[in-house]
Structure 1
Amino acid sequence: MLRLAAWMLLGNLFVLQLSALPPGGWLALVALGALLLCVWRYPGPAAALAMAAWTGWSASQALEMRLPDTLAGQDVTVTGRVADFPRHGRVRSSFLFEVDSAPAGVPRRLQLSWYGSSRPLVPGEALTLEVRLRPPRGLANPGGSDQAGRLFRAGIGASGYVRRELAPAGPALRRDLLGVRATLATRLTEGLGEGRSVGVLLAVGLGTRHLLDGSDREILARTGTSHLMAISGLHVGLVAALGLVVFRALWAWLPGPCRRVPPLLVGAWLGLGVAAGYALLAGFAIPTRRALLMLTVVLAALCLRRPLRPGRGLALAGMVVLATDPLASLDASFWLSFLAVGVIALVFHGRIADPGRTGEDGQPAAGWGERWRRLGRGLRVFLLFQALIVIGMAPVTGLLFGQVPLVSPLANALLVPLFSLLIVPGTLLGLLVLPWAPGLALAWLGALARLLELMWTLLAQLAAAPLAVSTLPALPPVLWLALALGAWLVLLPRGWPGRWLALPLLLAVFAWRPPTPSPGAFDVWLLDVGQGLAVVVRTTRHLLVYDTGPAMPEGFDAGRAVVLPALRHLGHRRIDTLVISHGDNDHAGGLAAVRAGLPVTRLLVGGADAARLGGEPCLLGQQWHWDGVEFEMLHPASPRLRGNEGSCVLSVRGRGGSLLLTGDIEFWGESSLLAGTRALAHDVVQVPHHGSRTSSSPAFVQATAARYALVGVAHANRWGLPRPEVVARWDGIGAELLDTARLGAVELRVSAEGEIEVAGGWRERRRRFWHVD
């Protein structure tokens, strides 16, 4: 069964790695090939081809629900309902919208933002809106998340924003599952507020994390406790186990005729029913459905009294999940849940010793001393198991998130029992009592919330520890294999041959550092931050970051979502110099997140914003040298300049090429540079002010003599940047225009020998069939 599951997964992953789906005729041929191989008794290859055909067909159906290009950027009228718990902020509300009626081609599921909305939205609320939509696209950066893939997996065919509301809202709540969940959430927040601890109660009770913000998620990720806030196998299995124990005991007390049905059978299936009710209360999201399906497979084998070893059970559950949901492997939770179960099974295999219920003379152990010693041994074993689980999960967490939470064993050793024994069952009990005895329920849930506040204080301290996480750069395939093999060897019981190889394998992985430019050379990354700017310059032993992109008050933060993951992906753990060209949000918005995430040796800020942002002003004439590369500030001459014209203009010159970073200077700043004594000719130039019509004067463009022109802009931005006349000027001098809207993040390698290699855009290098051009 393990082989069959591996063949199915192979066929599934092959299709999901394609940059374009094959036509339907090819999928039919693949399905026919699977049938023939099955007849010829080659079950493994047959399963792989059948899974590939099924995955391809399912993916093509999902792509058909995407917004057509003809409707992109157009105002359309849609009628439908708020389909989940919205996120409310000071500036905007973001929410999932299910369409009931709309023009042809509008997808059924939309991800919308509503700016300036004065009233809070309610789940289930009926609305008629005028919206402007675009196909799901997302940013493309090294180490960054695949937003387009996430929307594709969720069945969201378009994103956009509300232009205006056209009709009064319908009933605030529906009498369905979403309405019940919304009613419970409303009563809870009205009674206890909308603090972080209430957000945790809602997460474990109703499966919604809309009250947890980005900083909260960062703490959870750094401590390896995110799984406690997402209803998955741990929570569903816990509820099922509680149901099994309770109903089995109750059934055993019933009169004789009822005992003809084994209590274990009754408890198992009634426990599964309780778990299904919990899954429904939590919104029946994809991870919850998957956990319930896996639990059903295990309980079915238990009730049929079929021997089901952990490996076979895991393989069977995986086969059922892929057969029913072939796009499930796009979810990080798919890999985390299956790997976690496999690691736990491997850790416990061969390590469960005699629990020590008797003393040395064979009689039951007596005395508090022996009990405390047994408790101490149990705690040590539990901590050891948590550490082994972290090591076993390291290959996947490193690959998916670029980091391994080192404090996870301690955090989980404290919180897993707390959540398993108190928080989860206590929250469910409180929510069940809330409609009938609100005072009693709120008092109980309030006590849990106060306990969670103490827990969160501890988590925040663990997350802030210097060695809370170990970051992993982009490893070569051979090192990923070494990491997986080393982790597997650690998990094996004592006595297995070759287990000692785990230490050198893991040390080789964590000691490896990505290659850096040679002396006199440098690399340039123009990151894709949407409408904003962030540039990374690397020399042999130093790192410079120029601008950090935008940040929204309660939403996207380029520093946290783009800059930090990119730097970790490239293997950097500190920033030698961080330059903020000027204080506008699209250049300085991510500064706080970057400074919180990595140590910064020196901060330079343009114009009059230096004091406000906590840095020293950048001024004409500042110079430094790194590894054979010269850095010189060409502008501004005065620290009192404000706005775009006060932008830091930085020249980077290696032995074989040069780079000019201009920020948002406009015609006046360009004329100041032209009047100066420094040479403006550079091989690579960051186009001023994103290609605005107020910059890139003909004289300035000619003076740069650039071979490459870099533009940081958002796709289909409302300003139409870069402007066509500006593009024409750069084209006129023979410069190749490289923009993030079209290419995603762009990498250039400036060698010491005078060669400039454009390594291509990240969007094309990581293209999958669900990505939009």
Structure 2
Amino acid sequence: MDRWLISFSLGALLSLFLPLTPSLFYVAFFTVLSLLCFFISKTKWLSALFCGCAWLLWHGASYHTVWQNNGLDKNSVNQKYQQAVAEITSIAAIKNDRVSFIADISSLDNKALKKPIRIRVTWLEPSIVPKQGQLWLLTMKIKPAHGFANPGGFNYLTWLKQQHIHATGFVKNKAVNQLINKGVTWREQLYQKFSQLLPEENSSAIVLALTFGEKSQLSDKQWQVLTHTATNHLMAISGLHLGLVALAGYAWLMLLFKVLPIKRLLPTKHQDTLLQFNVQHLVLFGVFLITLFYAYLAGFSTPTIRALIMLSVFILAKLLSLSLSKSRLLLISLSLIILVAPFSLFSVSFWLSFGAVSLIFLYLWRLPAKPIESSSLAVKCVNYFKHLSVFQVYLILVLLPITASLFYQVSLVAVFANLVAVPWLSFVVVPLVLLALIFTWIFQPLADVFLALSQVTIDIVWWYLSWLSDFSWGQWKIHHDAWLLLSLLILLAVVFFVTHLPIKKAVVICFLIAFSLKISQLNSASIQKDNWYLDVLDVGQGLAIAIRANNKLLLYDTAASYPSGFSVAEAVILPYMRYHGFNEIDLLIISHDDNDHAGGVDVLTEHVPIVNKISNELETGKACLEGDVFQWQMLNLKVLHPKKERADHNDDSCVIKVSDGVRSILLTGDISSRIEQDLVNHVPELLKSDVMLAPHHGSKSSSSLAFIHTVAPEVAIFSAGYLNRWRMPSQQVKDRYQRLQVPTLNTAEQGMISVSFTQGEMKITTYKQDIWPFWFAN
């Protein structure tokens, strides 16, 4: 049985790394392979492998074909506002003047959909906040799910797919937006009643996260503390929380059956039935109901579903008196999770949870607990704390590759933080919070007491976490290559741990591998000393271009920031820098002062040092004026425009040619055809370039035929937003490039576009096709 379970799970996992778009053809193909293998005795075990692959791809195909099945054009659905009948399926998150929630769309413009479309909706300043369970008629603009595609950053599209969200939407005010059905879910009623009892304190956001799984109220400062101490996992209701509730429920129910004369309370004819039935079975069934209720409070989020499945397998095995080994319990749970929630495999939290449980079993297998001979309570406490500390260090170190891949930084205070925070929140805070919730409906004065106690206990642990997060040495930033080396060494350490290799030999082997890899890295760096790289980042409707040379970073424009507080620089540029190991920007060039080009300057200035600046709007740094020549690393930077020191309009953009003497690129900002013609008339010999950034994101007012012909690039790159409202790049512009046989690439379609220049040779790669081409992320 184990082999079948392993094969099924492995097939599902391997299907994620197929660089294809899931379709019914591939589902049928792997299904046929599964059937063929099943009827051949030598390959029978492969049947489960192909079955797992077909299962994931079928769900992927169902997700991707929702537009086609509903007769909707995915590429034009966002071109107008539509009236949608929406059922609210989540508790609304309120931040500043914006409300966001999840809804299932069953009708668009009075046309019923064959399959509901799940959408993440944003509503600015609504007159009434929608509540879970209500039915609304909303006028909104819908855009198919999409996210930035760059290395090091959060993949928003993968997260949307994991939640089975097909689109995002924006509600139009001063339009038809009316409530059709006022009925709300019981969860929403509990949330509203409970949240009204909470004081306006920072700890109240933590209380809501621990009870309802609603983390939207947590402030940026709180998330920063949680991230720096590697305790953000405590804010998601998952296996840890459900396990604690199950343990507490079991203890209380067993005590209840022992203390209360339940047998005497039953009718005579049911007393014999109770004697025949194991009381423990009733308790386990009660535990299941309690954890099911807690999962309901959390909105049956993906982590709670995973934990509930695992707990259900354990309870069912006990009820049926099945003797399951730890490995089989784990495999059955994994297979059921894939069957019930297949998109869980996209989630990093899944791999953290699954890895943690696996490591616990591995730890108990290799280092079984030894009985303590001394009866002294002090000795027992010391030994317990010692084993707990060792285990905590072991768990954090082994899971380091997964946690470090999130932000490319390692918390050096994680052990100290989790050693206190995990038991404190588990055995003190969570019970108090849940008791407060229960007594909200039974006896409110007692609920207020439990709430007050929970606030105090949260403040205590929060003071400790804040103190740890303030240490300047508490964060170790690592780049991608260092992460790969760290992952390899930890993988080897796990192998040595399993095989019981002597510690001295294991250390020597790890040291030799690390040393050889470092030497190889140094040799590679010396060979590539004269190489340089251009990365046009995927920043939506905006611009941010990175040039890397000699381990230094040049940044041309910083993309946009928005009134909501969201900054593309924080979401894309800073993670990109961490990924490549840059701690500073050696040269920052701002083309002009439009928000989509200069909106991230303040964020970057706050987070990283900027050594040199070139701009016509910044108070510090050099101006960008025609005729200026700069030397940066091995590259020459020639300014071709503007003539005057100004940055107010698109035509004021700083146009720069970057060249190594053999290959060159032309950075054009947002210039119009008027400036293009002026450049063609005055400096035609300087325009010739191998790579050109298409002016003004492909606006029809730019990229004139004369300009394209004069530059004669081998490739032109558009930096544009996915299905942006200006419909850039314009079809007219794309036709001009095609007419002159100039290939074009678009960040909205390919994600980040990279060009490497190596000894006069030029190579182009795109994030979606070459770096991370897997279907679940694109």
Query: Please, what TM-score do these two structures have when normalized by structure 1?
Result: 0.86
> Does the aligned pair in 1 maintain the 2:767–2:773 contact within 8 Å?
no
Instruction: Name 1:287's counterpart in structure 2.
Output: 303
The question of 1:328 aligning with 2:344 is answered yes
Distance between the aligned counterparts of 2:11 and 2:775, measured in 1? 16
Distance between the aligned counterparts of 1:491 and 1:151, measured in 2? 37
SS of equivalent to 2:215: coil
* Residue 538 of structure 1, CA deviation: 0.8
Cα distance change, pair 532–146 in 1 and its aligned pair in 2 (3 A): same
Instruction: Name 2:266's counterpart in structure 1.
Output: none
* Residue 556 of structure 1, CA deviation: 4.3
Name the amino acid aligned to 2:624: L
Deviation digits for residues 429-474 of structure 1 (CA, Å, limit 9, x no counterpart)? 1111223444543454245345535544554554453442443416
1:683-698 paired onto structure 2 within 5 Å? 683-696=690-703
> Does the aligned pair in 2 maintain the 1:492–1:499 contact within 8 Å?
no
Instruction: Name 2:376's counterpart in structure 1.
Output: 365
Deviation digits for residues 48-85 of structure 1 (CA, Å, limit 9, x no counterpart)? 13323333333333334346326622443221322212
Instruction: Name 1:717's counterpart in structure 2.
Output: 724
Distance between the aligned counterparts of 2:694 and 2:460, measured in 1? 50
* Residue 155 of structure 1, CA deviation: 2.2
The question of 1:619 aligning with 2:624 is answered yes
SS of equivalent to 2:105: strand
> Does the aligned pair in 1 maintain the 2:638–2:656 contact within 8 Å?
yes
Instruction: Name 1:139's counterpart in structure 2.
Output: 148
Distance between the aligned counterparts of 1:520 and 1:550, measured in 2? 32
Distance between the aligned counterparts of 1:538 and 1:278, measured in 2? 50
Distance between the aligned counterparts of 2:422 and 2:515, measured in 1? 32
1:533-552 paired onto structure 2 within 5 Å? 533-552=543-562
Distance between the aligned counterparts of 2:639 and 2:456, measured in 1? 52
The question of 1:384 aligning with 2:399 is answered no
Deviation digits for residues 147-173 of structure 1 (CA, Å, limit 9, x no counterpart)? 333323322233222235425324555
Instruction: Name 2:711's counterpart in structure 1.
Output: 704
Distance between the aligned counterparts of 2:158 and 2:728, measured in 1? 26
Instruction: Name 1:395's counterpart in structure 2.
Output: 401
Aligned partner (choices 73, 80, 83) of residue 69 of structure 1? 73
> Does the aligned pair in 2 maintain the 1:690–1:721 contact within 8 Å?
yes
> Does the aligned pair in 2 maintain the 1:545–1:579 contact within 8 Å?
yes
Distance between the aligned counterparts of 1:570 and 1:130, measured in 2? 43
Cα distance change, pair 51–730 in 1 and its aligned pair in 2 (3 A): closer
Instruction: Name 2:268's counterpart in structure 1.
Output: none
The question of 1:229 aligning with 2:232 is answered no
Distance between the aligned counterparts of 1:593 and 1:222, measured in 2? 19
Distance between the aligned counterparts of 2:691 and 2:226, measured in 1? 41
* Residue 636 of structure 1, CA deviation: 4.8
> Does the aligned pair in 2 maintain the 1:139–1:146 contact within 8 Å?
yes
Higher deviation after alignment, 453-462 or 552-561: 453-462
Cα distance change, pair 696–101 in 1 and its aligned pair in 2 (3 A): closer
Name the amino acid aligned to 2:389: L
Cα distance change, pair 693–306 in 1 and its aligned pair in 2 (3 A): closer
Distance between the aligned counterparts of 2:770 and 2:28, measured in 1? 26
Identity %: 28
Name the amino acid aligned to 1:760: T
> Does the aligned pair in 1 maintain the 2:412–2:476 contact within 8 Å?
yes
> Does the aligned pair in 1 maintain the 2:38–2:46 contact within 8 Å?
no
Instruction: Name 1:7's counterpart in structure 2.
Output: 7
Aligned partner (choices 450, 453, 475) of residue 468 of structure 1? 475
Distance between the aligned counterparts of 2:654 and 2:521, measured in 1? 31
> Does the aligned pair in 2 maintain the 1:486–1:501 contact within 8 Å?
no
Aligned partner (choices 300, 311, 315) of residue 299 of structure 1? 315
Name the amino acid aligned to 1:553: P
> Does the aligned pair in 2 maintain the 1:252–1:263 contact within 8 Å?
no
Instruction: Name 2:21's counterpart in structure 1.
Output: 20
What is the alpha-carbon root mean square deviation over aligned residues?
3.6
> Does the aligned pair in 1 maintain the 2:91–2:101 contact within 8 Å?
yes
> Does the aligned pair in 1 maintain the 2:35–2:47 contact within 8 Å?
no
Unaligned residue ranges in structure 2 (runs of 5+): 264-270
Distance between the aligned counterparts of 2:517 and 2:594, measured in 1? 38
Instruction: Name 1:160's counterpart in structure 2.
Output: 169
Distance between the aligned counterparts of 1:215 and 1:509, measured in 2? 41
Higher deviation after alignment, 421-430 or 506-515: 506-515
Aligned partner (choices 393, 400, 420) of residue 414 of structure 1? 420
Cα distance change, pair 478–219 in 1 and its aligned pair in 2 (3 A): closer
Instruction: Name 2:571's counterpart in structure 1.
Output: 561
Distance between the aligned counterparts of 1:95 and 1:485, measured in 2? 44
Higher deviation after alignment, 442-451 or 382-391: 442-451
Distance between the aligned counterparts of 2:484 and 2:176, measured in 1? 54
* Residue 96 of structure 1, CA deviation: 0.9
Cα distance change, pair 691–185 in 1 and its aligned pair in 2 (3 A): farther
Name the amino acid aligned to 2:689: H
SS of equivalent to 1:682: coil
Query: Please, what TM-score do these two structures have when normalized by structure 2?
Result: 0.86
Unaligned residue ranges in structure 1 (runs of 5+): 359-363
1:60-99 paired onto structure 2 within 5 Å? 60-66=61-67, 68-69=72-73, 72-73=77-78, 74-90=80-96, 92-99=98-105
Distance between the aligned counterparts of 1:646 and 1:450, measured in 2? 57
SS of equivalent to 1:169: strand
Cα distance change, pair 573–268 in 1 and its aligned pair in 2 (3 A): farther
Instruction: Name 1:50's counterpart in structure 2.
Output: 51
SS of equivalent to 2:441: coil
Instruction: Name 1:524's counterpart in structure 2.
Output: 534
Instruction: Name 1:745's counterpart in structure 2.
Output: 752
Instruction: Name 1:30's counterpart in structure 2.
Output: 33
The question of 1:126 aligning with 2:126 is answered no
Instruction: Name 1:427's counterpart in structure 2.
Output: 433
Aligned partner (choices 326, 342, 354) of residue 338 of structure 1? 354
Distance between the aligned counterparts of 1:675 and 1:376, measured in 2? 83
SS of equivalent to 2:418: helix
* Residue 11 of structure 1, CA deviation: 1.3
Deviation digits for residues 246-281 of structure 1 (CA, Å, limit 9, x no counterpart)? 222232335587676555444433223211111112
Higher deviation after alignment, 672-681 or 717-726: 672-681
Distance between the aligned counterparts of 2:560 and 2:332, measured in 1? 46
1:672-691 paired onto structure 2 within 5 Å? 679-691=686-698
Name the amino acid aligned to 1:81: E
Distance between the aligned counterparts of 1:642 and 1:463, measured in 2? 41
Cα distance change, pair 223–521 in 1 and its aligned pair in 2 (3 A): same
Cα distance change, pair 510–207 in 1 and its aligned pair in 2 (3 A): farther
> Does the aligned pair in 2 maintain the 1:520–1:654 contact within 8 Å?
no
Distance between the aligned counterparts of 2:455 and 2:183, measured in 1? 26
